[in-house]
Chain A
């Protein structure tokens, strides 16, 4: 298969129509991602550094930070998420128009991190679907930029015509959960030092 935009001669371009549309749409989407910052802890400080002049993610098309979910493309959860904020981030996610992506920034947003306790969500993927996990405590701006570039790559691999590769709406089920309870319990298992702590005392 010829790749999109591959120049056969100086006079014409050979490409499949689907690929051409995907290329145009995905390039537009990937290169003008508007972030919805959901900064709730120290990761938000690094997020601000990423947005500011030295690192400046406006270079990658994120010029405008959308402080309204209605105009946002990518939700960046920067910080640990307490259970009290779980319905809030879910509502913000639900309010964002398709297509939408989520970056989980930092150890706590991705897994609960050091906060393996009664009040903290053990990974925001139990609440909203996550595309890119950025590790670190907190991640340096380079780390977040790398995550954003990975997301670009992922977006450019999507297709309007392939239902498997297209992101669909992921509503909550009738229990109000995104994942089955067994899955949530499994991925919320203690790890690291916290395995030495007991569930009941």
Chain B
């Protein structure tokens, strides 16, 4: 194993959890994936945990599985709330990390350095209220219901997809001019300003 790369390792109930400093994450993940005898070739999930105890750091959690060895490992990176919430993307190792990391970004606001397309994935791209699964986020959102309805109704439901994401990409020549222009511009809308009267 790489010296100094493990901050802490916990083995409990037959599960292995390793804590990695965030500078070493990519190094450790590459080692886990490519070293013979490790071969964690499948990224099951990427998620994050924020605890009610505000002293505890936010954790980004990676679930890895080796399909050949039938072994699991859980890798955690701790991020202090006081510093920038960012880690290296593991998209280069497992392509499946693409949407998983987008979801963590959407829900927790963790940015993944080196991710090819880090956009919101569940909420629409012009969503302006913040990151819903953070502990500081009010259950009903930051804006009033009327403001939420107004922003939702003024959203353009077709503007969230790029031409490549739409399956009509290869039929672009047959589309109406107006629609083709709009898709080519990649119009996603602008993130609205929070209303002055938001509670």
Known: A118-B139, A199-B138. A184 touches B146 (CB 8 A): yes
A87 touches B139 (CB 8 A): no
A87 touches B155 (CB 8 A): yes
A83 touches B199 (CB 8 A): no
Closest B residue to A118 by beta carbon equals: B141
A86 touches B153 (CB 8 A): yes
B132 touches A122 (CB 8 A): no
Closest B residue to A180 by beta carbon equals: B146
- Say yes or no: is B78 at the interface (Cβ < 8 Å to chain A): no
Interface size band for B = 20 to 34
B-contacting 9-mer, from A5-13, A55-63, A160-168, A171-179:
A171-179
Contact residues of A between 156 and 198, Cβ < 8 Å to B? 172, 175-178, 181-182, 184-185, 188, 190, 197-198
What 1/0 mask marks residues of chain B from 117 to 145 whose CB sits below 8 Å from any chain A CB? 00000011000010010011111110011
- Say yes or no: is A117 at the interface (Cβ < 8 Å to chain B): yes
Known: A119-B132, A182-B146, A201-B136. A87 touches B157 (CB 8 A): yes
Known: A117-B140, A118-B137, A185-B144. A199 touches B149 (CB 8 A): no
Q: How far is the CB of A14 from chain B (nearest CB, A)?
A: 50
Which A residues are CB-close (under 8 A) to B47?
Answer: none
Chain A residues engaging chain B, CB cutoff 8 angstroms: 83-84, 86-88, 90-91, 116-119, 121-122, 126-127, 172, 175-178, 181-182, 184-185, 188, 190, 197-201
Q: Which one, A121, A126, A199, contacts B140 given CB within 8 A? A: A199
Known: A86-B152, A87-B153, A172-B153. A185 touches B140 (CB 8 A): no
What 1/0 mask marks residues of chain B from 32 to 48 whose CB sits below 8 Å from any chain A CB? 00000000000000000
Contact residues of B between 133 and 187, Cβ < 8 Å to A? 135-141, 144-157
A88 touches B140 (CB 8 A): no
A176 touches B154 (CB 8 A): yes
Closest B residue to A178 by beta carbon equals: B153
Chain B residues engaging chain A, CB cutoff 8 angstroms: 123-124, 129, 132, 135-141, 144-157, 199
A118 touches B150 (CB 8 A): no
- Summed over the interface, the residue pairs from A and B with CB atoms below 8 Å come to a total of 84
**A5 and B149 alpha carbons, distance in the complex (Å):** 47
A118 touches B132 (CB 8 A): yes
Q: List 13 A-B contacts (CB under 8 A).
A: A84-B152, A86-B152, A86-B155, A87-B155, A88-B157, A118-B137, A118-B139, A172-B153, A184-B146, A185-B144, A185-B146, A197-B139, A200-B199
Known: A88-B157, A91-B157. A177 touches B141 (CB 8 A): no
Q: How far is the CB of B34 from chain A (nearest CB, A)?
A: 39
**A173 and B186 alpha carbons, distance in the complex (Å):** 28
A177 touches B149 (CB 8 A): yes
**A164 and B46 alpha carbons, distance in the complex (Å):** 57
B139 touches A201 (CB 8 A): yes
Closest A residue to B148 by beta carbon equals: A83
B149 touches A117 (CB 8 A): no
A176 touches B153 (CB 8 A): yes
**A188 and B140 alpha carbons, distance in the complex (Å):** 11
B153 touches A122 (CB 8 A): no
A84 touches B124 (CB 8 A): yes
B153 touches A127 (CB 8 A): yes
**A182 and B144 alpha carbons, distance in the complex (Å):** 10
Known: A84-B124, A198-B138. A177 touches B144 (CB 8 A): no
Which A residues are CB-close (under 8 A) to B148?
Answer: 83, 118
B123 touches A84 (CB 8 A): yes
Q: Which one, A87, A175, A197, contacts B152 given CB within 8 A? A: A87
**A188 and B148 alpha carbons, distance in the complex (Å):** 11
Which B residues are CB-close (under 8 A) to A190?
Answer: 140
Which A residues are CB-close (under 8 A) to B135?
Answer: 201
